[in-house]
Structure 1
């Protein structure tokens, strides 16, 4: 980049002035404080290939949400965005510091607000208004969701509410805004940190040390905070635990910044720069590193090509193999995705001739509109699923729902970029608002003029009426959304009714049942010891109606369960009168020892103990053995397998079957097999049973208890 000579008198005077000093034309002989002038063009050169990388990242995320079975690890696209954001934002800050000697925080935050806020507010208003018209579960938590989105705190709102990324009892309309909140918080604090580094230490090395420390600390903190026995949403949503991707991108930007100190006075700069014109010299401080990036020596091309290929293959491999609930994701998997992204960006910026030739127009189109695509796709999926009566969004949707959501998402992203994002970036928010107000005022004036015109055409009045009606509809719908929002979803309400039934049963049922005389489980309930016991039938639990007569009485049974148990409490009490149910939403197998100890202390741990805790977390052999040991060998334990699309359910069920083979007092009741034959009996989330499924659950449990009694009697 060269500026050449200028014929403008002021430019000629500046070129003849002393290097390093700027002459003020307002008074003769007055020289203002030396400063590094801005380059002739303040826009950085476009790096070919980054738009395509954005496109692939957003396509991965959209595929993961719409059809997770096709790309189980597509959520790593969010981490690709994090690295890209850290790289680009830090590059802009460093570039401004190098060119002007300072960083204008006001200008930086204004640019970020222009880029992010208008499109985001549009999505929030439009989708909230639509949800207000639809009503129902899509409005659950809408007030806190909107507040979190508008205050850049969605991730912490979801953490405070205990929301789960992979499983939730009600669809979150703006669940995808958590990642925007992490980025927006980064935009707020990172310029301050970088400015402090520039001011105190004034060296690139200090910036690298600080950035690397943040990245490593965040990655380590994620690994430390993660507990495989509990829901990982806290460490996934948290800014503190998910900051490493942004910091990796920032580290990369600083690494390829000019290797001289980032803050210099002009005299020092004049000593190291040649005698080229000042605009050219200023640009050279930034363009020289870019030239080094793009002019790749032949001897290094092979190594860089290998780096790019390995990074791309690594990201593809993670996209197909990583699970958001797997321990490997939080103990290196997401960090590895960030490192692969850094490697891919390094290849892109160091291989510009190749990436420029390989750019594909459709991918670039998607990449330019990736922000809108990301904003719109999830709220539209939730709304379309509500309208079409589809299953819980995010866990696989019918192809018709996917097709409609994709079509609406592409249309909305195109309109957002065409009419909101690009105009605001070019003209500013204030100018756009003034233009909109002027247009409304002109419509009103035209309508008034047509009213008094002899021709009396109604076009202007119709347009004004439509605009006013549309505005009133949006405002009233948003208001209705806030007013009509239910406290809990239909599923949560049903679970609460089950919890109340379980609590009522605990109050009316006897709480002290001696465990020793349970004594002889071969004597059926109601028979005298002298009467010959009837032989219970040994049955498999799969046909849930078999063996009902041989099950122990309800006052001999304690059920320790989760929300699947809670929602089925009334059916359990009907099938097993007197059963003692202790269940909680999101309860996990790791809590079984303390629950069993509390029940035992209260005299409510009966001879037959059912553990229905296979839905909410991974269970390993250690956890399973601890739960069984806490209940004790003098009781018979029934382990209920879990059902759902959660990746840990299969391994957890295997652990239950393995425990039944190791312990003589343990049997398995196979809820997985029972409900798999009747998927229509499940609710929209694919986990909790509806009324018919609750009956199946109770029958399955009775059959499992019959098998347990037969097993205990040695038959």
Structure 2
């Protein structure tokens, strides 16, 4: 299967897409909608695959399906295989804790059903602190591969039965509507969106939008000469589409209802407009996309996608705290990603070095290359020989890790989950039944009697994430009347429904304490909305975050800004108080252990007591 022309400018569009994806993971607080860039790859894939099938069928009256699959999977499978081998070898040698449950990750990734396997296991793309596999991103390749296999056959069948390209257009539009509706109906606001994010059925609409566009305006037609007026209109439409995409990438959060109920579908149509203006050689955008650095990135976009997530996840697991000098950590990760991608490009795209066990998985090919290399002598082709030795070593290390990989759940993660689950259950029971609250006022070591009396009778509402849930038992021991509402992976901009529900139950008290920021930053607008929903008549306390991630300073700066702008906002500087006390934290350096939970609860009680007593003019 061939396509009549390669669209060089669309490589530039791929470059922008992969950069958005990488920076979404490196700096999620800066580009919170960068995850949308995968739709660019989906739309382009639908566009090119459909155009290729139509072209080949029109020329030959048939489809060389076996040859098409062989070429597609040769380009995908070998780089994927060696990324999996290299990463497995690395974690076998240096981060053995990540060998846990390795085999199903590898099988599902190579079998191209990783997205459905992650769905069946309840995996979440958006959780930050539970142990994450370096292969989480391969859901994308599984969705792509499933489309590669099935859609060409459907297009061919439609062409054979109806002899009319328009039936492909109608089918693609119908399937896109079905897929967008499936996403909208299956998405549950306030719950993790990974099911609709991973699902082939709920992501199909982007492919179908690209497929429909291939019928309406194929690539050959996009190359036809146009008048200057039409060229200007195309350029203007393209600039507008890129501007809208830029707004979406910077504003469209993965937690918004609109994202899953029409937002991604709209995003795919806007991408089509961008594709048309980018591909046509008469537009200014087309010329800009031919810029050599952009082309360099675009031609390596697949390899950059393969490597970006393993590098980021393994680097952050090894370094742990990337909040100190975050710019340096970003540059190091980018350098590693680019270096590994370039190496892969030279091996698999350019085939600059013919290395046994790399460009082909057939044992006969590897043996033949080894014999040929030996015949040329030791001095000849030394890089190939060294690469072969390194590759064989990586393969042996990966096989060792594969054989030794344990199954089950990380003990630290299991302990945290059980602690959170128990706390969450207890809080729900107490919030439903006030009689379960302790009425006795006991002395608490570490607190003055006046603080204990104040805290026991204080009407306080706590809103937060898993950090709050991990210390809830200690808080309730001190704050006898407390209402605690926490949820794993909750972010500040997800709390509108929470606040409304608390107010409806008359559990939003005059003092509100917020444990949010561990899972990502927020904008000043989002903070102002939150404060407005809580109400300026309430005392609002924010706990600073000690999360060892790049967004820590951004979160704490936004909290400081809110304190300076609102007299009812106060800061509980847990980040400064806990500094130097790693013994208070679990291995993730985010969640307090039992000792840290006690210290946090005491700190919160003392700080709130001091602040509110100062406000009331007492000592």
Scaled to the shorter chain, the TM-score interval is 0.7 to 0.9
- In 2, are the aligned partners of 1:558 and 1:610 still within 8 Å (CA)? yes
Distance 1:609 1:653 in 2: 23
Residue of structure 2 equivalent to 1:568 = 471
2:252 to 322, 327, 340: 322
1:363 to 274, 286, 294: 294
Residue of structure 2 equivalent to 1:56 = 16
1:411 to 339, 347, 368: 339
Distance 1:311 1:516 in 2: 57
Residue of structure 2 equivalent to 1:3 = none
State the secondary structure of the residue aligned to 1:240.
helix
Distance 2:448 2:17 in 1: 50
TM superposition shift of 1:403: 1.9
Change (3 A) 1:429 1:251: farther
- In 1, are the aligned partners of 2:586 and 2:592 still within 8 Å (CA)? yes
2:173 to 183, 198, 212: 212
Distance 1:407 1:295 in 2: 41
Residue of structure 2 equivalent to 1:152 = 112
TM superposition shift of 1:294: 2.0
1:232 to 177, 193, 201: 193
Distance 1:139 1:545 in 2: 48
Distance 1:345 1:163 in 2: 33
Residue of structure 1 equivalent to 2:441 = 525
Deviations along 1:204-253, one digit per CA (max 9) or x if unpaired, are 12111100011122222222322331122222222111221111111111
The alignment status of 1:495 with 2:416, answered yes or no, reads: yes
The alignment status of 1:184 with 2:145, answered yes or no, reads: yes
Instruction: Give the structure with higher Rg (CA).
Output: 1
Residue of structure 2 equivalent to 1:400 = 328
State the secondary structure of the residue aligned to 1:324.
coil
The alignment status of 1:244 with 2:205, answered yes or no, reads: yes
State the secondary structure of the residue aligned to 1:241.
helix
Residue of structure 2 equivalent to 1:610 = 484
- In 2, are the aligned partners of 1:142 and 1:173 still within 8 Å (CA)? no
Give the structure-1-normalised TM-score.
Answer: 0.68
Residue of structure 2 equivalent to 1:699 = 602
Distance 2:426 2:231 in 1: 73
2:76 to 116, 119, 123: 116
State the secondary structure of the residue aligned to 1:243.
helix
TM superposition shift of 1:399: 2.5
Residue of structure 2 equivalent to 1:375 = 306
The alignment status of 1:671 with 2:543, answered yes or no, reads: yes
TM superposition shift of 1:316: 2.0
- In 1, are the aligned partners of 2:423 and 2:469 still within 8 Å (CA)? yes
Residue of structure 1 equivalent to 2:501 = 626
1:548 to 442, 448, 451: 451
- In the TM superposition, 1:137-148 aligns within 5 A as 137-148=97-108
Distance 1:313 1:511 in 2: 47
Residue of structure 1 equivalent to 2:225 = 295
State the secondary structure of the residue aligned to 2:7.
coil
TM superposition shift of 1:371: 0.6
Distance 1:629 1:312 in 2: 42
Change (3 A) 1:512 1:614: closer
Residue of structure 1 equivalent to 2:273 = 343
- In the TM superposition, 1:9-158 aligns within 5 A as 44-158=4-118
State the secondary structure of the residue aligned to 1:610.
strand
TM superposition shift of 1:333: 2.9
Deviations along 1:422-457, one digit per CA (max 9) or x if unpaired, are 449x9996698644321223567789xxxxxxxxx9
TM superposition shift of 1:678: 4.4
User: Mind listing any 5+ residue stretches in structure 2 that lack a counterpart?
Assistant: 545-570
TM superposition shift of 1:315: 1.7
State the secondary structure of the residue aligned to 1:641.
strand
Distance 2:606 2:165 in 1: 69
User: Mind listing any 5+ residue stretches in structure 1 that lack a counterpart?
Assistant: 1-37, 258-288, 448-456, 528-542, 580-605
Report the more deviating stretch, 96-105 or 159-168.
159-168
State the secondary structure of the residue aligned to 2:484.
strand
TM superposition shift of 1:483: 2.3
Residue of structure 1 equivalent to 2:366 = 436
- In the TM superposition, 1:269-308 aligns within 5 A as 290=220, 293-308=223-238
Give the structure-2-normalised TM-score.
Answer: 0.77
Distance 1:326 1:434 in 2: 53
Deviations along 1:328-385, one digit per CA (max 9) or x if unpaired, are 3223332232222211211233335756654112211211111111111110122222
Deviations along 1:680-704, one digit per CA (max 9) or x if unpaired, are 4777868534667523432256469
TM superposition shift of 1:415: 1.7
Report the more deviating stretch, 337-346 or 93-102.
337-346
TM superposition shift of 1:180: 1.4
TM superposition shift of 1:551: 5.0
Distance 1:47 1:387 in 2: 40
1:646 to 517, 520, 523: 520
Deviations along 1:163-219, one digit per CA (max 9) or x if unpaired, are 222223123301221211111111121112212211222211211110001112222
Change (3 A) 1:460 1:80: closer
State the secondary structure of the residue aligned to 2:255.
coil
Report the more deviating stretch, 361-370 or 321-330.
321-330
Distance 1:76 1:434 in 2: 43
- In 1, are the aligned partners of 2:86 and 2:398 still within 8 Å (CA)? no
The alignment status of 1:483 with 2:404, answered yes or no, reads: yes
Report the more deviating stretch, 66-75 or 700-709.
700-709
Deviations along 1:627-661, one digit per CA (max 9) or x if unpaired, are 4555x67x979754232243679959965884577
Change (3 A) 1:70 1:667: closer
TM superposition shift of 1:60: 1.6
State the secondary structure of the residue aligned to 1:49.
helix
- In 2, are the aligned partners of 1:671 and 1:700 still within 8 Å (CA)? no
Distance 2:140 2:324 in 1: 21
- In 2, are the aligned partners of 1:174 and 1:379 still within 8 Å (CA)? yes
Change (3 A) 1:551 1:317: same
State the secondary structure of the residue aligned to 1:203.
coil
Residue of structure 2 equivalent to 1:11 = none
Distance 2:514 2:351 in 1: 56
Distance 1:517 1:135 in 2: 45
TM superposition shift of 1:616: 2.0
The alignment status of 1:166 with 2:126, answered yes or no, reads: yes
Distance 1:293 1:458 in 2: 50
TM superposition shift of 1:80: 1.0
Distance 2:486 2:610 in 1: 16
Distance 2:436 2:374 in 1: 87
Report the more deviating stretch, 65-74 or 360-369.
65-74
Report the more deviating stretch, 154-163 or 490-499.
490-499
